[in-house]
Amino acid sequence: MCLGQNDYSGKFTFIKKIYIIDYMFPFNKTDRLIFVNIKNSYEAYSRHETDNPFYRKSLYDCTIKYWRIASEKALSATHILGCYKGKVIEVVRINNVTTAKTGNYFGRAVFEGEEQPDSIYLGLDLHEVFDTLANFNTKYYEYDEL
């Protein structure tokens, strides 16, 4: 079966995603990615709205802090990608994951890692990866062989 061909098992959409990822932009098949929508925190950061509850002190903090995601996905991910208006604008290689212990964000994931300014994912248009971005907050992506 060639990529993009429907085998009538309901896999056409998945095959289409793999086709796009393999041929439209570079993708490391061992990477496990968490895409996060940083719109609220990024806009508060950009406007320096320190009184805004979404304000973070850096683009890095906008990307790594306070995400609702299943712990098994958070622990298995290799990168977290900060996305704004459908584009990846920050990439962090994950070294550690903890959870917030107190406050309004209790139980949410907090990532630590190294910024990747030369990442192959910077500038990626999420419309090339996902069918829809409706209600996008966090999305997990892991390459899966057919």
- Give the closest residue to 121 by CA, choosing from 75, 81, 71, 67: 81
In a domain, 3, yes or no: no
**Higher-confidence residue: 131 or 36?**
36
> In terms of Cα–Cα distance, which of 136, 131, 125 is closest to 15?
131
Domain assignment of residue 58, yes or no: yes
Question: Would you place residue 131 in the very low, low, confident or very high pLDDT band (cuts 50, 70, 90)?
Answer: confident
Dist CA 56 CA 8 (whole Å) = 47
Residue 5 included in any domain: no
Residue 12 covered by a domain? no
pTM over 0.75: yes
Query: Domain containing 132: what range?
Result: 29-142
AA identity, residue 4? G
Has residue 24 been placed in a domain?
A: no
Question: What gap in Å lies between CA 39 and CA 124, rounded to an integer?
Answer: 16
How far apart CA 48 and CA 143 sit, in angstroms, is 37
- Whether 83 is covered by a domain: the verdict is yes
Tally of structural domains, the chain: 1
CA distance 87 to 117: 15
pLDDT at 2: 35
The answer to whether residue 87 is domain-embedded is: yes
pLDDT in tens, 14-61: 333 434 344 455 678 899 999 999 999 999 999 999 999 999 999 999
Does residue 14 lie within any of the structural domains? no
